[in-house]
């Protein structure tokens, strides 16, 4: 037996189609096995609220042992998990192939999937997860929707809190007047024939956030890649299924994986890189889909062709060098939050590496979870916890005091900004956010 492991971590196939996966007695036994290991280690106490909740439950028992905790109390631990994957990636010494075989995030996923199967998913959670139903309607009614969901619209937001459980204080993403795909059709983007990567092709996967909420990210990525000489095609066959994964609806995630991989099959056949502009979506296509559908050859092949936008830019830089012309910016320093789902891809700090190509730019890094957790952090049941988990990141950003706070996860950046404003006397206009690829486009003056 080894105390910890020096081997590269691996993840097991998610056996969600078997009856044993949902066996509640077997699940309870596995929860107690893993929780007892966590209790004996406690290295992860400061990552999220799941672990303090678990340790408090154990410490409150007469003998301070996991076997005395009531099974129904385990829901508090699972509910607090944001599926950020940080415990698996950089904290737990007992992940596979260690014989303790601890994969805490996927155990929480199994718990949620079992709850979803036995108790169902609430109507509100189902609707929030259906981004491809909500998105097109919200884009058509963007001014009304954005006015309705603004935190300044207190009466409506309070009503929304009562009806849907969405915290009235949580900043919700706004919607664009036109989707990214619509704007791409209206906006020509000629390829730079003198670019060092001229002749290369790539597919930009718009993602639901990039398509409906913030098309500026995709437009900037398209311009930067075209400036390198890359012929870029923007596509959006549907949501990657991350919101569905959060709710434990694994069948719906698998259905999305089959649908989207089929739409991307022509690019897979031609070995064209598929570039995602949001790290959560990259992680789904690279990691979660293959573990859910291990026998689907197309999903397996697709996973090997997916890259984060920053990862792809650095790939171009190392293979061809980037087009010259990056200029100094007005901001001499920026704060960069390394998104949890970027780190979970185990690709290194590519966004930081990319931003450091900009002349005379100081990049100060935050390596703490923002606490947002997708749809999790905006709910009334979790919003205050989300702020608590994100407080160290917000505090660090305030210490750096750079006007610009960047993250490859736009929701994380906005959440950190909200935490900063709650901790600071500065006005909300003192800080703003961008995606790193937008800053690279600004440096190119494109």
Is 10 inside any structural domain?
A: no
* Boundary (domain end) residue, out of 284, 318, 352: 318
Is 147 inside any structural domain?
A: yes
Q: For residues 142 and 135, what is the distance between their CA atoms, to the nearest angstrom?
A: 10
pLDDT for position 373: 86
Asked whether residue 290 falls in the same domain as residue 353, the answer is no
CATH number of residue 423's parent domain: 3.40.50
Domain count, the chain: 4
Asked whether residue 354 falls in the same domain as residue 400, the answer is yes
Nearest to 253 by CA among 222, 223, 292: 292
Q: For residues 170 and 421, what is the distance between their CA atoms, to the nearest angstrom?
A: 13
H-helix segments, 304-339: 309-320
pTM: 0.93
Asked whether residue 186 falls in the same domain as residue 312, the answer is yes
One-character DSSP codes across 236-293: -----SHHHHHTT-HHHHHHHHHHHHHHHHHHHHTT--EEESSHHHHHIIIIIHHHH-
Asked whether residue 342 falls in the same domain as residue 433, the answer is yes
* Boundary (domain end) residue, out of 119, 147, 172: 119
The DSSP secondary-structure symbol of 367 reads -
Asked whether residue 197 falls in the same domain as residue 306, the answer is yes
Is 149 inside any structural domain?
A: yes
pLDDT for position 430: 81
Q: For residues 152 and 345, what is the distance between their CA atoms, to the nearest angstrom?
A: 37
Is 75 inside any structural domain?
A: yes
Report whether 411 contacts 425 (CB < 8 A).
no
Q: For residues 193 and 440, what is the distance between their CA atoms, to the nearest angstrom?
A: 20
> What contacts 101, CB < 8 A, 6 or more positions away?
94, 95
Asked whether residue 158 falls in the same domain as residue 217, the answer is no
Asked whether residue 37 falls in the same domain as residue 93, the answer is yes
* Boundary (domain end) residue, out of 259, 290, 318: 318
Q: How far is CA 58 from the centre of its chain?
A: 30
Asked whether residue 247 falls in the same domain as residue 275, the answer is yes
Range of the domain at 329: 325-443
Q: For residues 235 and 180, what is the distance between their CA atoms, to the nearest angstrom?
A: 9
Beta carbons within 10 angstroms of residue 194's beta carbon: 9
Q: For residues 143 and 223, what is the distance between their CA atoms, to the nearest angstrom?
A: 27
Asked whether residue 147 falls in the same domain as residue 188, the answer is no
> What contacts 153, CB < 8 A, 6 or more positions away?
147
Is 169 inside any structural domain?
A: no
Asked whether residue 296 falls in the same domain as residue 402, the answer is no
Asked whether residue 274 falls in the same domain as residue 340, the answer is no
pLDDT for position 321: 95
pLDDT for position 65: 92
pLDDT for position 90: 83
Is 251 inside any structural domain?
A: yes
Per-residue pLDDT of the chain (446 residues; tens, 9 = 90+): 455 566 778 999 999 999 999 999 999 999 999 999 999 999 988 888 999 999 999 999 999 999 999 999 999 999 999 999 999 988 899 999 999 999 999 999 999 999 999 999 998 888 889 999 999 999 999 999 999 999 999 999 999 999 999 999 999 999 999 999 999 999 999 999 999 999 999 999 999 999 999 999 999 999 999 999 999 999 999 999 999 999 999 999 999 999 999 999 999 999 999 999 999 999 999 999 999 999 999 999 999 999 999 999 999 999 999 999 999 998 889 999 999 999 999 899 999 999 999 999 999 999 999 999 888 889 999 999 999 999 999 999 999 999 999 999 999 999 999 999 888 765 556 899 999 999 999 999 99
Report whether 109 contacts 77 (CB < 8 A).
no
Asked whether residue 159 falls in the same domain as residue 265, the answer is no
Is 4 inside any structural domain?
A: no
Q: How far is CA 45 from the centre of its chain?
A: 22
Strand partners, 335: 364, 405
pLDDT for position 91: 86
pLDDT for position 147: 96
Is 6 inside any structural domain?
A: no
Tokens representing 9 are 């971590």
Q: For residues 380 and 164, what is the distance between their CA atoms, to the nearest angstrom?
A: 9
């Amino acid at each position: 037996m080894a105390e910890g492991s020096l081997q590269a971590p691996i993840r097991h196939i998610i056996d969600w189609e078997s009856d044993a996966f949902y066996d509640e007695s077997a699940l309870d036994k596995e929860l107690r096995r893993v929780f007892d290991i966590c209790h004996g280690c406690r290295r992860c106490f400061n990552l999220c609220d799941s672990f303090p909740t678990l340790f408090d439950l154990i410490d409150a028992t007469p003998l301070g042992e996991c076997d005395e905790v009531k099974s129904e109390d385990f829901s508090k631990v699972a509910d607090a998990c944001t599926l950020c994957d940080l415990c698996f990636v950089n904290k737990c010494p007992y992940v596979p192939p260690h014989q303790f075989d601890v994969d805490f995030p996927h155990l929480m996923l199994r718990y949620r999937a079992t709850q979803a199967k036995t108790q169902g998913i609430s109507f509100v959670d189902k609707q929030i997860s259906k981004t491809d139903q909500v998105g097109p309607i919200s884009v058509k009614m963007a001014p009304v929707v954005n006015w309705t969901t603004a935190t300044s619209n207190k009466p409506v937001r309070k009503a929304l809190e009562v009806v849907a459980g969405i915290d009235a204080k949580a900043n919700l993403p706004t919607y664009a007047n036109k989707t990214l795909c619509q704007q791409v059709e209206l906006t020509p983007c000629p390829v730079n024939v003198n670019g060092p990567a001229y002749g290369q092709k790539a597919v930009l996967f718009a993602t639901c956030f990039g398509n409906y909420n913030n098309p500026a990210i995709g437009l900037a990525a398209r311009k930067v890649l075209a400036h390198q000489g890359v012929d870029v095609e923007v596509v959006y066959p549907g949501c990657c299924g991350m919101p569905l994964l959060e709710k434990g609806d694994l069948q719906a995630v698998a259905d999305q994986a089959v649908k989207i991989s089929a739409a991307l099959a022509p690019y897979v056949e031609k070995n064209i890189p598929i570039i995602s502009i949001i790290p959560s979506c990259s992680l789904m296509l690279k990691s979660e889909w293959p573990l859910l559908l291990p026998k689907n050859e197309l999903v397996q092949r697709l996973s090997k062709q997916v890259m984060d936008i920053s990862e792809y830019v650095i790939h171009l830089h190392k293979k061809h060098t980037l087009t010259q012309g990056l200029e100094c910016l007005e901001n001499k320093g920026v704060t960069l939050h390394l998104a949890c789902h970027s780190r979970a891809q185990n690709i290194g700090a590519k966004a930081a590496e990319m931003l450091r190509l900009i002349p005379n730019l100081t990049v100060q890094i935050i390596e703490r979870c923002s606490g947002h957790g997708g749809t999790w952090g905006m709910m009334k049941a979790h919003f205050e916890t989300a702020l608590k988990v994100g407080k160290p990141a917000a505090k660090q950003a305030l210490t750096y005091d750079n006007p610009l706070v960047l993250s490859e996860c736009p929701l994380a950046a906005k959440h950190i900004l909200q935490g900063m404003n709650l901790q600071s006397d500065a006005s909300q206009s003192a800080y703003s956010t961008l995606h790193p690829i937008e800053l690279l486009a600004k440096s190119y003056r494109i």
